[in-house]
A and B are shown apart, each in its own frame.
Chain A
Amino acid sequence: MPHSQLRIVIVGHVDHGKSTLIGRLLNDTGSLPDGKVEQVREMSRKRGMPFEWAFVMDALQAERDQGITIDTTQIHFKTKQRPYVIIDAPGHTEFLKNMVTGASQADAALLVIDADEGALEQSRRHAFLLHLLGVRQVAVVVNKMDKVEFSSRRYEAVAQEIKDYLAELGLQPKAVIPVSARNGDNIVSRSEQSDWYLGPTVIEQLDAFRPQQTSPDQPLRLPLQDVYKPDDRRILAGRIESGRLRVGDTLHFSPTGASAKVVSIEAWNHPEAVLSAQAGQSIGITLDKRIFAERGHIAHHQADAPTLAHRLSVRLFWLVSDPLVVGKTYTLKIATAEHRVTVEQVTAVIDVEDLSSTPGKAVRRNEVAEVVLRSRSPIALDLASDLPRTGRGALIDGNDVVGGCLVVEIEDAAAANITEVSHTVSLEERAQANGHKGGIVWLTGLSGAGKSTLAMALERALFDRGWQTFVLDGDNVRNGLNAGLGFSSDDRAENIRRVAETAKLFADAGMVVIASLISPLKSDRARARVIGGERFHEVYVAADLATCEERDPKGLYKKARAGEIAEFTGISAPYEAPDQPELVIDTDALGRSEALAQLLDYVDETLGKNSLKSEKELTYVI
């Protein structure tokens, strides 16, 4: 069976000899079709030139059109060790976009530099991009050594210059090889003209590269792609980006903080049970608890968790003619999570020539820069230098991927300008003093389902028992806290976010907050759950639309039917019922007092005295 093929990208300044090197590699490894060399000799003779290896590529191009499967985008060849694919990444007009697309697939790179000219601008830009793209295995080929009479001094000078440059990017070339691609020196066989050179030939270096692999010994990161329910199973699907997981592991999820145990690793057409999985594998798992988990959340172990950040510094490359500008908001996609981020600062636009940097207000096409981004929602991520796959991302503007970035600095809450003052009164002390825990009881349901009635009744009942409690009603907060907000979908989402944040403050203060909002969209409620954390309790106040319309306590359905209210939930806008609420109260089936009794039972059980005791005992045991 063949060894895994290695993907290499060949980069460098124009005319430094990329095509000649490829031609040579193909010929000297016996990968060219019969008669090709003669054809090239003829092409060269006609033009009155010495044998031109670069024509090999042109000749293949011609052959390509006749249907032979060698082409200029991916060129296959073999050494005794293994098969290779050369990824050609050319293109002058759309240069960066194509180079990035090609090079990001490579396991290793050869950077070709003319011995006479040394590293020029494009050599440096390519090197910088290799660094950004995470291509860590780089060898430098100092080409056209025949033009400088194989001078070891000239070689040393070029080698030192590029090594210094790469070192500043944190890259160390595996080798710096003096070659003459035209004459075949140090490509496959060692050249007599460079007896002072003791390092590998190009082929020896290629065979020494390793396919890119992620180590299973790193911290676990499993970004979720999707959740499937093919039958009664609920399968969380994703690819392990680093580390390893086993059946029985307790997984924690960021940014929600939820946790659960892995019951199984699901596999189709696999007779034996799968007990562990590691980096690189696309898997599906089931858990012992129904927690809120969705695309974008990252599963990890408790130790070595990703950082949660609102503000981060990235090093980025920009691909489109519309510049990146301070103040503009983009979508940042890290692994499978998407966040809206605003450019706070362009700290440095980097000059690839000498790596000097100047602060700016914008980043133009093909430039690289350091930029500070701020996100409203917490982003779970890592430093690219620790875990590249969860430490880098794509920037999206509208429909297009416009740039890519590496996370180089993370400001988590502790280091931010907003320093959270730690309270001297702990949550436990508050709970002990009040005789119950703080929490958020989030009532969602159609207008007229009975949320407000139930909320007020619950507030009364809890208050009468001596509880600290307060209702945040959707309509009431719109008069004050959210007076500036309208009814567009963005404003509605913001309305819900503010209520959730306010509710969290009340819950932190030890109170039971009863939030009563239609909150029709799953995504908005999911965000509220992230804000509230484990103190968030979703209660679905369920009633048929027909029943609600008949009740119509505020006369709104009548108006909506008459077309006087645009986007009225249930009539002209969707209501997305919760998949897994903590509690469902069916007001079609239950009378007012039964509904209240059910809700009281739940609140008492989860937040009341008994819930305090069990935790207290637990802490003593520990």
Chain B
Amino acid sequence: MSADLDQLENQSIYILREAYNRIDKLAMLWSIGKDSNALLWLCRKAFFGRIPFPVVQLDTAMELPEVYEFRDRITKEWGLDLKVEQCPPEEEMDQTLPPLTRAAARKTEGLKNLLRDHAYQGVMVGIRRDEQATRAKERVFSPRSLEGDWDVKDQPAEFWDHYKTRFPEGVHVRIHPLLAWTELDIWRYSQREGIPIVPLYFARDGKRYRSLGEKNITFPVDSNASTIDEIIAELQVTRIPERAGRAMDNESEDSFERLRSVGYM
């Protein structure tokens, strides 16, 4: 039985269709990780095979080679309108940030450049509430200033699937169709649907990536889970958080919060 997955799928499709109808210029961020792969899959379902907006990778040139291989294969097979946005170098980042957080901030700047250059009014991002505490407070339609600032204390009301879809000039909206999903849901759904997965998620020599990021700031965790079944079994008992292998989250107490408040995904 996977009635709960059906419900999540139907809700995400509803959100995707609202976004496509209400927001004029729309793009989707594709990190090539398991969550945004599932999001791409949901887009294909929502729009009957053809994704009607560009898919953007914020590239730091620091992803693992398997990630680039996967990106190029899927782009071709699924006929994606892929745009690769090169992120500015680390030297241009806020030097008061801790070093690893600084590396992650490159994506924030890449995103700002993308928004400025292409005037996107909405970007879809595959974040989930259960990933991280500040993401738990997110709205499905989350407005940002041009600088990407997020006013967490005064967020719009969101009820009965009525989302905020009108904005003053200079504001863009992040759309989060996967907010209600958990890590376990994503894996169960990927298994059910047969969604392609970057092989780095599967254990080799007692280690696997639980969360994929740039090679300089992301590390594999101890695991013997080498199939989706084994990953699902592992997640049902683990007490280790999903982003444990993300160095930047754990560098200082508020590093992730600082990243997000200025526009990180």
Q: What is the interface of chain A, defined by CB distance below 8 A to chain B?
A: 1-5, 33, 64-69, 71-74, 76, 94, 97-98, 100-101, 104, 133-134, 225-226, 228, 230, 233, 235, 237, 239, 266-269, 280-282, 284, 295, 319, 333, 389, 392-394, 396, 398-401, 404
Tell me if A392 and B44 are in contact (CB < 8 A): no
Q: In whole Å, how far is B111's beta carbon from the nearest beta carbon of chain A?
A: 23
Not counting A73-B133, A281-B6, a sample of 6 additional A-B residue pairs whose C-beta atoms are within 8 angstroms of each other reads A237-B46, A239-B13, A282-B9, A282-B13, A282-B14, A401-B157
Given the known A-B contacts A73-B129, A269-B44, A269-B45, are A1 and B160 also in contact in the complex, defined by CB atoms under 8 Å? no
Complex interface: chain A residues within 8 A of B244 (CB):
67
**How far apart are the CA atoms of A97 and B139 in the complex, in Å?**
12
Give every chain A residue within 8 A of B158 (Cβ-Cβ). Answer: 101, 104, 401
Q: Report yes or no: B159 in contact with A104, Cβ–Cβ below 8 A.
A: yes
Give the CA-CA distance A69 to B135 in the complex, in Å. Answer: 11
Query: For residues 206 through 258 of chain B, which have their beta carbon under 8 Å from a beta carbon of chain A?
Result: 239, 241-244, 249-250, 253-254
Q: How many residues belonging to B are interface residues under a CB distance threshold of 8 Å?
A: 55
Please list 5 pairs of residues, one from A and one from B, whose beta carbons are closer than 8 Å in the complex, sorted by A's number: A94-B153, A97-B155, A226-B21, A280-B10, A389-B160
Distance in Å from the Cβ of B257 to the closest Cβ of chain A? 9
Establish whether residues A74 and B47, one from each chain, have CB atoms under 8 Å apart when the complex forms. no
Contacts of A64 in B (CB 8 A): 133
Contact (Cβ within 8 A) A4 B3:
yes
- Measured between beta carbons, the chain B residues less than 8 angstroms from A69 are 130-133, 241-242
Docked CA distance A65–B134 (Å): 10
**Cα of A133 to Cα of B160 in the assembled complex, Å:** 8
* Cβ contacts under 8 Å, A230 to chain B: 47-50
Partner of A67, one of B130, B136, B250: B250
**Bound Cα distance from A230 to B18, whole angstroms:** 17
> Are A268 and B21 interface neighbours, CB within 8 A?
no
Which chain B residue shows the least CB distance to A233?
Answer: B48
Whether the pair A74, B136 counts as a contact (CB closer than 8 A) is yes
The docked-state distance in angstroms from the alpha carbon of A101 to that of B250 is: 30
Question: In the complex, how many angstroms separate the beta carbon of B165 from the nearest chain A beta carbon?
Answer: 9
Most A Cβ at <10 Å: residue of B20, B153, B154, B157: B157
User: A392 touching B154 by the CB < 8 A rule?
Assistant: no
Pairwise interchain contact B137-A73, C-beta atoms closer than 8 A: yes
B2 near A: Cβ within 8 Å?
yes
Please tell me if B116 contacts chain A, counting CB pairs below 8 Å.
no
By a CB distance below 8 angstroms, the chain A residues around B249 are 67
Residues of B contacting A1 in the complex (Cβ-Cβ under 8 angstroms): 1-2, 188
**Which B residue sits closest to A266, measured CB to CB?**
B48
Q: Is A101 within 8 A of B159, CB to CB?
A: yes
B25: interface (CB < 8 Å)? no
Structural contact, B166 and A399, CB atoms closer than 8 A = yes
Would you call A225 and B21 a contact (CB within 8 A)? yes
Report A-chain residues with C-beta under 8 Å of the C-beta of B47.
Answer: 228, 230
Once bound together, how far apart are the Cα atoms of A393 and B254, in whole Å?
39
B167 at the A interface (CB under 8 A): yes
Q: How many angstroms between the C-alpha atoms of A575 and B45 in the bound complex?
A: 33
Asked whether B164 lies within 8 Å of A133 as measured between CB atoms, the reply is: no
Residues of A close to B129: CB separation below 8 A? 73-74
On whether the beta carbons of A235 and B48 are closer than 8 Å, the reply is: yes
A401 vs B157: C-alpha distance when bound (angstroms): 7
Q: Smallest CB-CB separation from A389: which chain B residue?
A: B160
A282 to B177, CA, bound (A): 14
Please state if B20 and A226 are interface contacts (CB–CB under 8 Å): yes
User: Are A239 and B10 within 8 A (Cβ)?
Assistant: yes
Q: How far is the CA of A4 from the CA of B132 in the complex (A)?
A: 22
- Give the residue of A5, A101, A133, A237 whose beta carbon is less than 8 angstroms from that of B139: A101
The answer to whether B250 touches A268, judged by C-beta atoms less than 8 angstroms apart, is no
| Closest beta carbon of chain B to A132's beta carbon, Å | 10
A220 → chain B closest CB, angstroms: 16
Determine whether B7 belongs to the interface, using a CB cutoff of 8 Å to chain A.
yes
* Distance between Cα atoms of A596 and B46 in the complex (Å): 45
Contact A101 B50 (CB under 8 A): no
Q: Which residues of B are found within 8 Å of A400, using beta-carbon distances?
A: 156, 164, 166
Contact B253 A399 (CB under 8 A): no
Q: B123 to nearest A CB, angstroms?
A: 18
A319: contacting residue among B157, B167, B168, CB under 8 A? B157
> Known contacts A33-B239, A65-B254, A401-B162: does B133 contact A268 (CB below 8 Å)?
no
Q: Roughly how many angstroms separate A98 CA and B157 CA in the complex, as a whole number?
A: 7
Most chain B beta-carbon neighbours within 10 Å: one of A68, A225, A267, A280: A225
Compute how far the CA of A226 lies from the CA of B21 in the bound complex, rounded to whole angstroms: 7
B21 and A68 contact, CB distance less than 8 A: no
CB contacts (< 8 Å) of A71 on chain B: these are 133, 136
- In the docked arrangement, what's the CA distance between A100 and B47, Å? 31
The answer to whether B4 has its CB under 8 Å from any CB of chain A is yes
**Contacts known (A94-B154, A282-B46); A392 close to B160, Cβ less than 8 A:** yes
Closest Cβ neighbor of B183 among chain A residues? A69
Say how far B50's CB is from chain A's closest CB, in angstroms: 5
**In the complex, which residues of chain A have a beta carbon less than 8 angstroms from the beta carbon of B48?**
228, 230, 233, 235, 266, 268, 284
CA distance A72 to B129 in the complex (A): 11
How close is B249's CB to chain A, nearest CB, in angstroms?
A: 5
In the bound complex, residues from chain A placing their C-beta under 8 Å from that of B4 are 2-5
B131 to chain A minimum Cβ distance, whole angstroms, is 7
CB of B160 within 8 A of CB of A394, answer yes
Residue interface mask B121-164, A partner, CB < 8 A = 1: 00000000111110011010000000000000111111110101
CB-CB under 8 A for A73 and B136, given A282-B10, A284-B48: yes
B44 engages A268 (CB within 8 Å): yes
CB of A122, distance to nearest CB on chain B (Å): 19
Rounded to whole Å, the gap between the CB of B238 and the closest CB of chain A is 10
Given contacts A69-B131, A225-B17, A396-B166, contact A268 B159 (CB under 8 A): no
Interchain CB contact under 8 A, B130 and A399: no
Residue on A nearest B157 in the bound complex, by CB: A97
Q: Which of the listed residues A3, A67, A235 has the most CB atoms from chain B within 10 Å of its own CB? A: A67
Given A268-B44, A280-B7, A333-B162, answer yes or no on A399-B168 (Cβ-Cβ < 8 Å): yes
Task: Give the CA-CA distance A237 to B157 in the complex, in Å.
Answer: 26
A74 to B136, alpha carbons, bound, how many Å?
7
Output the least CB separation between B175 and chain A (Å).
14
Q: How far is the CA of A333 from the CA of B160 in the complex (A)?
A: 11
Instruction: Determine the chain B residues whose CB is within 8 A of the CB of A33 once the complex forms.
Output: 239
B contact residues around A267 at 8 Å (CB): 45
Find the B residue at minimum CB distance from A61: B133
Question: CB within 8 A of B14: which of A225, A228, A333?
Answer: A225
**Closest Cβ neighbor of B255 among chain A residues:** A67
Q: How far is the CA of A1 from the CA of B235 in the complex (A)?
A: 13
- Cβ contact within 8 Å between A74 and B160: no
Residue on A with the closest CB to B249? A67
Closest partner residue, chain A, to B256 (CB atom): A67
Minimum CB–CB distance from B247 to chain A (whole Å) comes to: 11
- Find out whether the CB atom of A404 lies under 8 angstroms from the CB atom of B21: no
B17 touches A399 (CB 8 A): no
Segment 56-76 of B: residues with Cβ below 8 Å from A: none
Minimum Cβ distance to chain A for residue B230 (Å): 16
Please, how many angstroms separate the alpha-carbon atoms of A226 and B44 in the complex? 16
Query: Which A residues are CB-close (under 8 A) to B168?
Result: 399
